[in-house]
Amino acid sequence: MILVLIGYMASGKSTLGRILANKLNYDFIDLDDYIEEKEQVSVSDIFKSKGEIYFRKKETLYLKELLDDKTKLVLSLGGGTPCYSNNMDALKNTSKAKSVYLKASIPTLVARLKNEKSKRPLIAHIETDELLTEFIGKHLFERTQFYSLSDVTITTDNKKEEDIIEELVLQLF
């Protein structure tokens, strides 16, 4: 089975994905890291040099490649991945994948992201916490319709990593 972690940036997909993969003795892949490895350039540089449309096309290509080729995998998607190119349909239409929405509140996401902006191309230009809050709120409003199609939803606010993993395992198995 492929367990696909979905959620907004900084919702915990990569951190929790590594822990979950270790617990289940599965492989772990962060889709952004996979793209960087395949393209031999950082996601930030892809956005800067080739643009978001190019990135989204590659993202879909590599997502489908992983869904076709892998088993016993925990896959962490980028925050926008489910929202483009019918990627959520691809997840829903494969019997070997289960999707998990890691749901975090806007205040939680702002607290996690405000010191990481330089590493995040979509928010690198945002200067204040108020503008970041507004940006995240708008994005979440747009993306929730895709995230909510996940097989399982786990709220992560104010929970310890091990408690989230335990809740995940109980709901998935």
Q: Are 153 and 103 in contact (CB under 8 A)?
A: yes
Annotated binding residue at 138? no
Is there a binding annotation on residue 14? yes
Pairing assessment for the beta strands 73-76 and 152-155 based on DSSP bridges: unpaired
Is 105 annotated to bind a ligand? Reply is no
**What is the distance between the alpha carbons of residues 17 and 39, in angstroms, rounded to a whole number?**
22
Q: Which amino acid is at 76?
A: S
Could you tell me which of 112, 103, 107, 101 has the C-alpha nearest to residue 155?
A: 103
Read off the amino acid at residue 74. V
DSSP conformational letter for 78:
P
Residue 60 is assigned to a ligand binding site: no
On whether 99 is known to bind a ligand per the annotation, the reply is no
Residue 129 labeled ligand binder: no
11 is in an annotated binding site: yes
Query: Count of H helices and E strands in the chain?
Result: 7, 5
Is 85 annotated in a binding site? The answer is no
Enumerate the known binding-site residues for substrate: 32, 56, 79, 143
Enumerate the known binding-site residues for Mg(2+): 14
Enumerate the known binding-site residues: 10-15, 32, 56, 79, 120, 143
Enumerate the known binding-site residues for ATP: 10-15, 120
